[in-house]
Structure 1
Amino acid sequence: MANIDTFFVTKVYRAELTGPKAETLNQELEAACLSLAEDDEAGQRWCEKNAYPGYTSYASLNDLPWRIPVFGQLLKNLDSHVSAFAKELEFDLKGRKLVMDSLWVNILPPGGVHTSHIHPHSVISGTYYVTIPEGASALKLEDPRLGFMMAAPPRKAKAKPENRQFAYMKPNPGTILLWESWLRHEVPLNEAESERISVSFNYAWQ
Structure 2
Amino acid sequence: MTASETDDFTPTQIFATPLWVRRVVGFEQINADIRALLPQLRTESAERRSNEGGWHSQTNLHTDDRLAQIRKIIGTTSAGCATSIGFDFTRHNLVFQSLWININGHGHSNRAHVHPQSFLSGAYYVDMPKDGGNIELFDPIAARVMSPFPADDLSPYTGQLLEHTCREGDLLVFPGWLQHSVQRNESNRDRISISFNMTFESKPNTQR
TM-score bracket, normalised by the shorter chain, equals 0.7 to 0.9
Q: Which structure: greater helix fraction?
A: 1
Q: What code does the residue aligned with 1:181 have?
A: G
**Is residue 137 of structure 1 aligned with residue 133 of structure 2?**
yes
- The structure that has the greater radius of gyration is 2
Q: CA deviation at 1:99?
A: 0.4
The superposition leaves residues 132-164 of structure 1 with CA deviations (integer Å, 9 ceiling, x where unpaired) of 01111111000101x223522266462224532
The DSSP-based 3-state class of the residue aligned with 1:107 is: strand
- Show CA shifts across 1:160-183 (max 9, x none): 245321111111111100001111
The corresponding residue for 1:184 is: 179
Question: Match of 2:204?
Answer: none
- What residue in structure 1 maps to residue 69 of structure 2? 73
Amino acid at match of 1:129: Y
User: Is 1:86 equivalent to 2:82 in the alignment?
Assistant: yes
Is the CA contact (8 Å cut-off) linking 1:155 and 1:164 kept in structure 2?
A: no
Report SS of the residue matched to 2:194.
Answer: strand
Give the distance between the partners of 2:131 and 2:76, measured in 1 at CA. Answer: 30
The corresponding residue for 1:16 is 23
Verify: 1:110 aligned to 2:106, yes or no.
Answer: yes
With over 3 angstroms needed to count, the CA separation of the structure-2 counterparts of 1:90 and 1:116, relative to structure 1, is same
Quickly say closer, same or farther: Cα 1:165–1:150, change in 2 above 3 A: closer
| Structure with more strand by fraction | 2
Query: What percentage of residue pairs aligned between the two structures are identical?
Result: 28
Please name the residue that 2:54 is paired with: 54
Alpha-carbon distance, 1:194 to partner:
1.0
SS in 2 for 1:163: coil
Root-mean-square deviation (CA, aligned residues, Å) is 2.2
Distance in 2 (CA, whole Å) between partners of 1:95 and 1:179 is: 22
Task: List 4+ stretches of structure 1 deviating above 6 A.
Answer: none
Q: Quote the Cα distance in structure 1 between the aligned partners of 2:75 and 2:38.
A: 20
Question: What's 1:127 paired with?
Answer: 123
2:36 aligns to what SS in structure 1?
A: helix
| Aligned CA distance change for structure 1 residues 51 and 91 (closer, same or farther; 3 Å) | closer
Letter in 1 for 2:123: T
| Inter-partner Cα distance in structure 1 for 2:200 and 2:62 | 19
Aligned partner (choices 81, 93, 100) of residue 97 of structure 1 = 93
5+ unaligned residues in a row in structure 2: which ranges?
A: 202-208
The answer to whether the 8 A contact 2:97-2:198 is kept is yes
Of 196, 199, 208, which residue of structure 2 is paired with 1:204? 199
